[in-house]
């Protein structure tokens, strides 16, 4: 079992990269909207119950994968470095893997705003996220959030930051190219 945690700003390509790695490694992908789109039918987005249940569902899903025969799991998430609930979610999930000495590979993705807006219109994005089907609203939201993107981007330089932590600028890369780069950086192969 291995864990790959991919994070970065909205529409950077986390899910697409996760799916590309999953194709090669036969891992499962857990992405934020897998629970959020269900919860928003019952609770206001960002409300106390919404946040609480989102955390509980992610932890439960992750725990089930840890107890399965899956070779690995890929988590994708917008991770605001200054938002307590994001840090709590990540730590709650990853502490379970650390306790079992499961390798965790952390990948921080970056892409410029124009690239992210273009990626937000891709079929996979639209298929998995109802909130991005209104393209004008999606673009407007991305442009507004761009100023706060510093909160989802670390101050680390691009490249291997430390053991098992890679930061990539994928502005000019496809999801497939990025997946290959991540697998090479961490010496992962589909035979593992």
Whole-Å CA distances, 21 to 68, 82, 183, 190: 19, 28, 8, 9
Beta bridge partners, 31, equal: 76
pLDDT digits (tens, 9 = 90+) for 109-141: 998 888 888 877 664 455 555 554 566 777 777
Lowest mean pLDDT among 53-57, 125-129, 158-162: 125-129
* Alpha carbon 65 to chain centroid, angstroms: 16
Q: For domain 2-185, which CATH number applies: 3.40.50.300, 3.40.109.10, 3.40.50.150, 2.70.98.90? A: 3.40.50.300
Q: Whole-model pTM above 0.75?
A: yes
- What distance, in Å, lies between the first and last C-alpha atoms of the chain? 9
How far, in Å, CA of 65 to CA of 21, rounded? 17
> Which pLDDT score is estimated for 123?
47
> Which pLDDT score is estimated for 127?
58
How do the domains of the chain map onto residue ranges?
2-185
Top-confidence residue, 156 or 104: 104
- Across the range 33-58, mean pLDDT stands at 85
> Which pLDDT score is estimated for 130?
53
Element spanning 169, H or E: strand 165-169
């Amino acid at each position: 079992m291995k864990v790959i945690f991919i994070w970065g700003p909205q529409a950077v390509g986390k899910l697409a990269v996760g799916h590309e790695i999953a194709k090669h490694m036969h891992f499962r992908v857990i992405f934020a909207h897998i629970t959020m789109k269900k919860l928003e039918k019952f609770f206001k987005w960002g409300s106390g119950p919404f946040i609480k249940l989102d955390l509980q569902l992610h932890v439960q899903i992750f725990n089930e994968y840890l107890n399965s025969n899956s070779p690995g799991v890929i988590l994708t998430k917008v991770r605001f470095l200054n938002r307590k609930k994001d840090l709590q979610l990540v730590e709650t999930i990853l502490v379970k893997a650390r306790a079992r000495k499961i390798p965790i590979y952390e990948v921080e993705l970056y892409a410029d705003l124009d690239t992210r807006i273009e990626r937000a219109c891709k079929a996979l994005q639209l298929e998995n996220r109802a909130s991005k089907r209104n393209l004008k609203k999606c673009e407007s939201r991305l442009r507004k959030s761009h100023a706060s993107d510093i909160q989802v981007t670390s101050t680390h330089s691009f490249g291997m930051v430390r053991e098992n932590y890679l930061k990539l600028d994928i502005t000019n890369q496809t999801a497939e190219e990025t997946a290959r780069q991540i697998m090479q950086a961490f010496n992962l192969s589909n035979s593992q």
